[in-house]
Amino acid sequence: MKRIPNGITFGRIILAMLLLFLDPLSLAFLVIYILCGVTDLIDGPIARMTNTTSSLGAKLDSAADTILIAVSLFTLYPLLGLTLEIMIWIFMIAVIRLTSIGVALRRFKTYASIHTYGNKLTGLLLFITPLWLLHIDHTIWNVFVCIIATISAVEEFIIQFTSKQLQLDRKGLFIKN
């Protein structure tokens, strides 16, 4: 019972890697992609329901999310309509996130990605992007997602930099759990 939530999360990593071998936006791609989203939605609640939450599980969940985002960006890049400016912006968001992880490693001696509302909203927007690709203006959508991702990355950095202790489930900078 203890291993089920982490097994679900690990399954998301395998499914995300499988996307590399499928045609972007094909039926198989979308089915696997949606399964990745479902596993992301259920692993945490199952862990809480079975009282099997763990630091490892939280880290594995963050790693699975990162892998899914990276694989999605790689496979969908030709379809996203990313300009050089947006690519630079995405790179800067990644730098902020990596710096935040570095701060957590230095201060708390562990990898950490906080489950803030901003990070969850960013994840949701990134997740629905492939599902909307054929129905949206890419330029407006890309800017919107980058704005939200920037705000959430900066918020996480500030939390990591100013917190006295690691709080993986902190909901936001101005929200106390």
99-112 pLDDT, tens digit per residue, is: 999 999 999 998 88
Answer whether 141's CB lies under 8 Å from 132's CB: yes
* DSSP assignment letter at 118: H
> Would the pLDDT of 115 be above 90?
no
Query: 177 pLDDT exceeds 70?
Result: no
What is the mean predicted confidence (pLDDT) over 113-142? 91
Question: Tell me, what's the pLDDT at 91?
Answer: 96
**Dihedral class, residue 53 (left if φ above 0, else alpha if ψ from -120 to 50, else beta):** beta
Instruction: Give mean pLDDT, residues 28-56.
Output: 94
Return the closest-CA partner of residue 75 out of 23, 125, 131: 23
Mean pLDDT score, 126-139: 90
Structure tokens at 89: 């912006």
Write the pLDDT tens digit of every residue in 49-80.
999 998 888 889 989 998 998 999 899 999 99
| pLDDT, position 49 | 94
Is-contact 164 108, C-beta < 8 A?
A: no
pLDDT at position 90 over 70: yes
Residue 172 three-state SS: strand
By C-alpha distance, which of 9, 8, 36, 10 is closest to 22? 36
Task: Write the pLDDT tens digit of every residue in 3-23.
Answer: 999 999 999 999 999 999 999
